[in-house]
Amino acid sequence: MTTRMVEVRAKVMKQNDVLARSLRERFEQHNTCVIGLVSSPGSGKTAFLEKLLAGLARTHMVAALVGDLATENDAVRLLRATPNVKQITTGTICHLDASMVERALEEWDLKTINFLFIENVGNLVCPSSYDLGEELRFVLLSATEGEDKPLKYPTIFNSSDVAIITKMDMADAAEFDVASARRNIERVRPGMKIFEVSSKTGLGMEEVFGFLHAQLARSRISASIVEEVVQ
């Protein structure tokens, strides 16, 4: 029985990886910069994403896919920033997978989207195993969660590219040790890019915007090089 379960899981993961590679190729062809967001529930992920969408929408076409077990509350909230929002309701499944993303994209023209954000289900375990075709993955850790989250959930930090420490406006009240959190992130993922932000006050958001603009520029350069080689 155990062997059969392992075989099934391996097949599922292989299928997901194949589809994720296909999605990544589509994103690259259309010069769409895709960012995945993962975190535990209550980290401020949706508030952070709302700020990102609102800020980037001034100069770029943006879109978001939002994963939750139930309700469309987050999608409704994000519609204030952009009309290009879709909710993915997973029911009992604790993560998004590549097939869910593919289905959600069916009615969208990726050529018109510069930035696509994929907000995963709030969970620091399951999402780490599923590639969604993202160009980058942001893992969020809030000042109200504790400095040792990276040590408790190392896999999600190892499978991410950027760490975002959120709710910095509450750091003093929560007695959050930023230096300790940074050391723990560095211990798990040496050299990881880290931003300290507050969606409420705007602290650190300009630095994140600058990073994303640079990432989009790099993506376009890479896409141009690939296109020249193909031709």
Domains in the chain with CATH codes: 2-230 (3.40.50.300)
**What pLDDT was estimated at residue 58?**
95
pLDDT digits (tens, 9 = 90+) for 174-197: 999 999 999 999 999 999 999 999
How much is the pTM? 0.91
- Distance CA(28)–CA(226), nearest Å, equals 9
135 class by beta-carbon count within 10 Å (0-12 exposed, 13-18 middle, 19+ buried): buried
Q: How many CA atoms lie within 13 A of 191 on its CB side?
A: 0
Reported confidence tier of residue 200, pLDDT bands at 50, 70, 90: very high
**What pLDDT was estimated at residue 2?**
66
User: Per residue in 94-109, is it b (16+ CB within 10 Å) or e — as a string?
Assistant: ebbbbebbbebbeeee
pLDDT digits (tens, 9 = 90+) for 112-135: 999 999 999 999 999 999 999 999
